Chains A and B, each alone.
Chain A
Amino acid sequence: MTEWIISILLLIGGTFVLVGSIGLVKMPDFFMRLHGPTKATTLGMAALLTAAMIFFSTTQAGVSVKEILISLFLLLTAPISAYMMIKSAIHHKLDSIDRTQGKNNVEDEA
C-alpha cells in the first residue's frame, strides 16, 4: 500500500518537474518563461520530497521528517528568487510579446 502511495507521488513529482522545464523551453518571452520553473517545479519538488519522506519513514527505523526542511526551504526561496529575476529583467528592459497588457505601468526605479 505504501509502495503505491510512494510511486504515485514520485510520478506526480516527476511529471510536474518535466512540465516546468517544458514551459521553460516553449514559452515565448522571459516573463512567461518564469512561470514554469517557479511554480510547477516547486510543486513537483514538494511531491518528490514527500515521497522520499514516506519512503525513509517506512524503510528505516523511526519517522523521518527532515525532508520537510528542503521542501519548506524551496517553498520559501522560490518566490524570492523569482522576484529578484523579474527585477533584473525589468531593469534590462526585456521585450515581452505584443498582447501583454499593462506594460506602461511598469517603472524601473533601480
Chain B
Amino acid sequence: MLETVILIVFAMIGLSLLLNIWRLLVGPSVPDRILALDTMYINSIALIILYGMSMGTALYYEAALLIAMLGFVSTVAVCKYLLRGDIIE
C-alpha cells in the first residue's frame, strides 16, 4: 500500500511543481517570480524526501537540508537586492 501512496504523492508534488513553473513564466511582477522559485525549492525538498522513502535509504537527507538552506538564502538575497539595490551594504 505504501508504494501506491508514495506514487500518488509523487504525482501531486509533480503537479504542484508544474503549477509553480506556470506562475514563474506568467507571473506579472518580479516578486511573483521570487515566490514561485521559493515554492519550487520547498517542493523539490519534498520530492527528494519522497525519493529517499521509495528507495528505502536515508542518504538523501543531507541533500534536502542543503537545498532548504540554499533556497532560503537565495530568496532573501534576491529580495534584499530588489529592496536596496545591493545585497551586503
- Seen from chain A, the residues whose Cβ lies within 8 Å of a Cβ on chain B are 3, 6-7, 10-11, 13-15, 17-18, 20-22, 24-25, 30, 33-34, 37, 41-42, 44-45, 48-49, 51-52, 55-56, 59-60, 64, 66-67, 69-70, 73-74, 77, 80-81, 84-85, 87-89, 91-92, 94, 110
> B22 contacts which chain A residues (CB < 8 A)?
25
Chain B interface mostly helix, strand, loop or mixed? Answer: helix
Tally of contact residues, B, Cβ under 8 A: 47
CB distance from B36 to the nearest CB of A (A): 7
Bound CA span A16–B6, Å: 15
Flag if A14 contacts B9 (CB, 8 Å): yes
Bound CA span A45–B20, Å: 16
Please, which residue of chain B has its CB at the minimum distance from the CB of A49?
B49
Flag if B68 contacts A70 (CB, 8 Å): yes
A91's partner among B2, B45, B53, B83 (CB-CB below 8 A) is B83
